[in-house]
Structure 1
């Protein structure tokens, strides 16, 4: 059995953007590690999450704002298209589930 599951937890970088019946949300995730010299390192990675499910996209547009904590269960989808005779390869992160996290309460608000 093959599994294509990408779990993402981070902060929303800006209000979701809609395109048709879908939406895209930029989520920031932070990494902290100690390098080989013993120095603490930090980096923020930005991931654009696509919400193709119309109901999930609508709820995200209505409930998610910049700075909100978020959790997404996603799949990675590779694709390609032709542009000016050249093949352009893409990798998309498609959310199967997306929820806004309320870090001040025990219950998360599923959207």
Structure 2
């Protein structure tokens, strides 16, 4: 049977991506994505746990991430888990598992453009949507 190594994350960036170029000239971007799980404990109190996921993007995707992703913005990341190893200064073998991104989608809206696009004016109170109670008539089914 074939194996599957697929990761899908939707979360917020912890900081702006770190964009670098390898000695071979390949672009890479490193960034972290926070995902938060919420639940209620036995006493009914809300609990939360945030997990931080290290992500690496390569080549053109890295350049796009470096240009458009910013701290706090929500992103969709799709990729696979990849573990790399190296020796530190003390000769100890170190390991790091990260998400190798193959698709990144910016989910937060872009900042408003001040030069050509103006924000729509807020609706007047008279233009506000009808309250839901106005539709409480007899339902035909």
Q: Aligning the two structures, in what range does the TM-score lie when normalised by the shorter sequence?
A: 0.7 to 0.9
Alignment of 1:49 with 2:55, yes or no, is yes
Shift of 1:27: 1.2
Structure number with the higher strand fraction is 1
Q: Give the 3 Å change call, closer, same or farther, for CA 82–67 of structure 1 in structure 2.
A: closer
Shift of 1:34: 1.4
Structure 1 unaligned runs (5+)?
A: 105-111
Structure 1 vs Structure 2 CA RMSD: 1.8
Alignment of 1:14 with 2:15, yes or no, is yes
Counterpart of 2:37 in structure 1 is 31
Counterpart of 1:69 in structure 2 is 74
Aligned 8 A contact 2:13 2:33 in 1: yes
Number of residue pairs the alignment of both structures matches: 103
Alignment of 1:40 with 2:46, yes or no, is yes
Q: Which deviations, in whole Å up to 9, do the C-alpha atoms of 1:8-39 show, x marking residues without a partner? A: 00111211111211001111111101123322
Q: Which deviations, in whole Å up to 9, do the C-alpha atoms of 1:28-55 show, x marking residues without a partner? A: 1111011233221012222121102x11
Shift of 1:103: 5.6
Q: Give the 3 Å change call, closer, same or farther, for CA 7–87 of structure 1 in structure 2.
A: same
Question: Secondary structure of the residue that 1:58 maps to in structure 2?
Answer: helix
